[in-house]
Amino acid sequence: MNSVDMNLLRAIADLETVPQGAYNLRKNGALDGRHNTANIEIVTKAEPGKPGIDIRIKPGTKNESVHIPVIITETGMKDMVYNDFFIGEDCDVTIVAGCGIHNSGCETSQHDGIHTFYVGKNARVRYVEKHYGEGEGTGARILNPQTVVYLEEGAYINLETTQIKGVDSTKRYTKVVAGKDAEVVVTEKLLTHGKQYAESEMDVILDGEGATGRIVSRSVAQDQSEQIFYPRVVGNASCFGHVQCDSILMGTAKIKSIPAIDAQHPDAQLIHEAAIGRIAGDQILKLMTLGLTEKEAEEKILNGFLQ
């Protein structure tokens, strides 16, 4: 591990050293380290032409974590992975993923990841995914994640996805199918600047009676960047769904938010809210009276908004 590697791992997974518990580190398209535990097994996919891993977590596993970060430090590298998670009944686990790209060259570096989760009855999962780009090169840094989740009866998943900075283009897709009494919470935080482009599409399908789904999207678009959101909730049973999208515009950036709710059952309760605007001037003035410069006040508001 060199200083570039460690900086990327620190940004996307809060790692200073090798993580405790199960982990799988992928660097420049190849395995760079792995550890299994008694309850969590990570194996390389055997299917030809389908790179990636299978993560199997035994029923009843609690208070354990899995780290599966990906880092790219070569310009021109295009990486694609298929990761499948099989989480047994009555588990309570945290999965930390994410991708960091350091591009110092003139060619595009790209990572596309397709993650599929099969969450057993009454299991609880917290999934944390951060994306980050850096490097002084002119080559683009592109990340295109796809996340598909199937929740069995009483299962719960909290998807926390964050794009920190430095990603030139991203197309994100998330799909969750929730069974009886299952619950899904999707929290997405997105920051774009320069001429970056971000597109996020979500489908939360509440199939089972008593299922609940919440989508919370917070984003900041700076400079000439552009963002487009398509959050959708479908209620196929007696269920509850809520979509909330809040965005801050800066410079000449553009944001388009197109939430949709689709009730296919008479007892489906679905709500959506969306707000886009600039930082209120009185907020900045109030902080400036406390001794902050205008730039410092702006940064403090943005940091609080994206917490």
Confidence category of residue 296, pLDDT binned at 50, 70, 90:
confident
**Which two tokens mark 200?**
């996020």
192 Cβ partners below 8 Å, 6+ apart? 163, 167, 198, 219, 220, 221, 222, 225, 226, 227, 253
Q: Which tens digits make up the pLDDT trace of 142-168?
A: 999 999 999 999 999 999 999 988 999
Percent of residues, the chain, with pLDDT higher than 70: 100
Q: Which of 271, 192, 289, 287 is nearest to 231 (CA)?
A: 271
Confidence category of residue 286, pLDDT binned at 50, 70, 90:
confident
Confidence category of residue 307, pLDDT binned at 50, 70, 90:
low
Confidence category of residue 1, pLDDT binned at 50, 70, 90:
confident
* Predicted local distance difference test score (pLDDT) of residue 282: 74
pLDDT at residue 24 is higher than 90: yes
pLDDT at residue 291 is higher than 90: no
- pTM for the full predicted model: 0.92
Task: Check: CB of residue 287 under 8 Å from CB of residue 280.
Answer: no
Say how many Å lie between the first and final Cα of the chain, rounded. Answer: 29
Q: Which of 182, 206, 67 is nearest to 127 (CA)?
A: 67
Please give the DSSP secondary-structure letter assigned to residue 120: P
Q: Which tens digits make up the pLDDT trace of 165-209?
A: 899 999 999 999 999 999 999 999 999 999 999 999 999 999 999
- Residue 265 one-letter amino acid: H
Give how far Cα 260 sits from Cα of 90, 188, 239, 263, Å.
Answer: 32, 17, 16, 10
pLDDT at residue 82 is higher than 70: yes
Average of per-residue pLDDT values in the chain = 93
